Structure 1
Amino acid sequence: MIAETICSAVSAAGLGIAAVTAYRRRFLTAARTAAYAFVPVGLVLTGTVEWISGIAFRPSVWLGFGLLGAAWLLFMATRAVERRTGGTRKERRAAARSARHDAVAPAASAPSLGAGAPDRGSEPGGRVRGKQSGGASGDDFSDIEAILKKHGI
């Protein structure tokens, strides 16, 4: 009841200010002020003010908002701890398994060169000369050095 009275008084004051503004021949500002003045009365007539005041003055509603805030804080705290420890238990186990797998066969996940264009260090039969393996060869680094020298780097 008191919220509706306050909204009505605010609307009446706004309409009074709009009337004075229109008297001073500022019609655009007066129309805008009148529009703002109609908003509180519209909220009262639609029942929005009653609904909001019913929510705002009930202790159980505030307890619910407090519980939602506590839940949000717990979610954020657990996410922060997860990030520091390296993920969930399932993710840590998977990482430990892949670390053990990499230790047993470190080159197992290295990409193969396939049957594409022959490498500079390889012979026509596909065999690799010298100590070069499937990774980057020394020639690749000399090419990079030549490009850098060409550009003055």
Structure 2
Amino acid sequence: TGICTLLCVMLKKPKRIIICEKSPERIRFVHEHYPDVLVTEPENCKEFVLKNSDHGGADVVLEVAGSDDSFHLAWNCARPNAIVTIVALYDNPQLLPLPDMYGKNLIFKTGGVDGCDCAEILALIEEGKIDTTPLITHRFPLNEIEEAYRIFENKLDGVIKVAIYK
């Protein structure tokens, strides 16, 4: 979800994109395929964003990880009056610590995958404006789908996305 979100963000050509990622495989993947994207790890993220932003934090934050820590990190990295979009799905309810947020005047947007944009996204892929080719790191025939799921679910062998063919 994070890398697919990155591809969509890149369409808007923002001045700077910063990704907060803890997986060494995904960090390596981003460096290899998207060298202009800045990458930091969660423990350094807030300081990195502050150092690399123009207005005391991120103008827009997209939270796709879905953990309690990533939710807090998202709004903490946002500058005052920023937009925080929650793409992630959480196992537990998230609380807004309003006293800590006071003065940030954040705009929160929630949702997740919006199926009504699928036709537009597929057209962008067909036109070559979104290149999903690097995301498919593994290919399996349909009769090996159990092995494909095992690799994907356990995040083995640097897997990003798996393609199944007949």
When normalised by structure 2's length, the TM-score is 0.15
Larger Rg: 1
| Higher share of residues assigned helix | 1
| Higher share of residues assigned strand | 2
